[in-house]
Amino acid sequence: MAASTGGSAEPTTTTAGAAAPGLRERRRRQTMAEIQEAALRLFEERGLEAATVEDIAEAAGVSPRTFFRYFAAKEDAALPAHREFEDAVETGLQQADPDADPCEELAKVYVRVLQGFADNGSPAAQRMLRVGRLLRREPLLRSALVRHSAARNSRLLQALEARFGGSEASDLQLRVAVELCTSLVRAAFETWAERLEAGREAILPEIYADAQDLAQRVRV
């Protein structure tokens, strides 16, 4: 589950007091979404090797220079859906109980975020499934996801340290929380995609719950 390199958000404040993206940020997200869609479509049609940055930029209606303002390489353009998912997890951690077990709190956040994928026909689920299909056939994309995942784990560890740094949680405990939870989520995503591709019934939040149960048996 592999980062956006666009400019920083400039949120405005809603009447409810929550941060909402400003016009510049909304335009940035729209441009990124258009580049991602163009990249996914071309990768599906031609394969990652054959589709060039110039092809993707032209299909998205931007210049190659604009493309590189958002992504370091063409394979990275297929992965914003992963970053959106991870951003939601990091945001959810802000509500975690700093006096509770970090692994349990992180798992609860993942449960909430994965509910957004309960409908297999939703745009978020369909984007993630498309990326999953490409990952199984494109070695370059799998390599990009490895790099992305390493960066994700680093960010997630920092988020946990910020939330639980004042508690009795050790640095090892936080690292184990990151590694365990992200491994379960990855296993759930891969199983979900493979079952659906095989024509089997698959609901992502339920698969993640099963993965948690299996992990708990191992821990006991």
pLDDT in tens, 100-153: 999 999 999 999 999 999 999 999 999 999 999 999 999 999 999 999 999 999
**What pLDDT is attached to residue 90?**
94
- For the segment 155-183, the average pLDDT, to the nearest whole number, is 90
pLDDT, average across residues 45-55: 95
pLDDT of residue 144: 92
Q: Name the band, by pLDDT with cuts 50, 70 and 90, for residue 3.
A: very low
Rounded to an integer, the average pLDDT of 205-217 is 94
Q: What is the mean pLDDT of residues 168-182?
A: 90
How sure is the predictor about 166, in pLDDT bands with cuts at 50, 70 and 90?
Answer: confident
Mean residue pLDDT of the chain comes to: 88
For position 22, what pLDDT does the model report?
Answer: 87
Confidence at residue 5, expressed as pLDDT on a 0 to 100 scale: 36
Q: pTM higher than 0.85, yes or no?
A: no
* Per-residue pLDDT, 20: 62
The mean per-residue pLDDT over the stretch 185-199 comes to 95
**HEC secondary structure over the chain:** CCCCCCCCCCCEECCCCCEECCHHHHHHHHHHHHHHHHHHHHHHHHCCCCCCHHHHHHHHCCCHHHHHHHCCCHHHHHCHHHHHHHHHHHHHHHHCCCCCCHHHHHHHHHHHHHHHHCCCCCHHHHHHHHHHHHHHHCHHHHHHHHHHHHHHHHHHHHHHHHHHCCCCCCHHHHHHHHHHHHHHHHHHHHHHHHHHHCCCCCCHHHHHHHHHHHHHHHHC
